[in-house]
Amino acid sequence: MIKLHDVTIAYDRIPAVHHIKGEFKKGALSAIAGPNGAGKSTLLKAIAGILPIFEGSLEFVGVTRQEMAYLPQAAEVQRDFPINLLQLVCSGFWQVSHGFGRISNAQKEQAEAALEAVGLCGFAKRNIDSLSIGQFQRALFARVLVQDAKLILLDEPFNAIDFATTNALLQIIKQWHGEGRTIICVLHDFEQIKEHFNDCLLMAREMIGWGKPREILQPEYFMKAHFFCSDDVHHHVRKPA
């Protein structure tokens, strides 16, 4: 579904992700893994169209960015914006409503059903700044649910949330996968990746390995990944997420 042709991404013309080649297959449940500063979120944002490609190119096959849903890290979302949970979820209809335009009754019902699906039934009128981290992450998943996207990009969706919430959200991801959607998820928990995902790109600003998680997430690859992200090797490069 997505082919990466020697992709390099830079901040202020200094490369943060170097010459990534490979492809995310249609219908795959893929993880992007690596140490802190590996460029995982940087690459995901480039796929989402948030960051430009410095060199190389991305090729989308059978999908457009309009058919894509992107879930950022919860810490990146401004939570003091004066909207309630229903309005947040309904922003997932932006393709047809142009942001906070008129929402139909059918869309409201769909948004309420999405809130129920993520365990937030009865929260529709709560302001987003009143939610716990786990509740807010569930709400972001509800917004993705209503987008009905072919391609779903998730950036560290389980950060700072409890075990029960993580399991609940993993079940939603598996449901999406069962529906044939393509999912790319930035994660740092290697055991979680090996248990639940069928494809993994291990990177440290460049590609270290790409394939089945249990084959890629091995000690020899870890050592190489940490070497390439060490301050001694790349002290002059601004560290990406």
State residue 231's pLDDT score.
47
Residue ranges covered by each domain of the chain: 1-63+150-156+181-241, 66-147
Q: What is the CA radius of gyration of the chain?
A: 18
Instruction: Confirm if 124 and 115 have CB atoms less than 8 A apart.
Output: yes
Q: What is the pLDDT of residue 220?
A: 67
Average pLDDT, the chain: 87
Q: Is the pLDDT of residue 236 over 50?
A: no
**Alpha carbon distance 63, 162 (integer Å):** 34
Whether the predicted pLDDT of 235 surpasses 80: no
Q: Is the pLDDT of residue 2 over 90?
A: yes
Cβ atoms 39, 234 nearer than 8 A: no
By the 8 A CB rule, do 181 and 150 touch? Answer: yes
81-133 pLDDT, tens digit each: 788 999 999 988 876 655 555 778 888 999 999 999 999 999 999 999 898 88
191-203 pLDDT per residue, tens: 999 999 999 999 9
Give residue 233's pLDDT: 39
Is the pTM higher than 0.75?
yes
Contact 119, 145 (CB under 8 A): no
Which pLDDT belongs to residue 232? 38
Q: Structure tokens of 163?
A: 């075990």
Q: From CA 197, how far away is CA 24, in angstroms rounded?
A: 13
Q: How far is residue 45's CA from residue 51's CA, in Å, rounded to a whole number?
A: 6
Q: Does domain 1-63+150-156+181-241 have CATH number 3.40.50.300?
A: yes
pLDDT at 238 over 50: no
Print burial letters for 197-216: b (CB count within 10 Å at least 16), e (below 16): bebbbbbbbbbbbbeebeeb
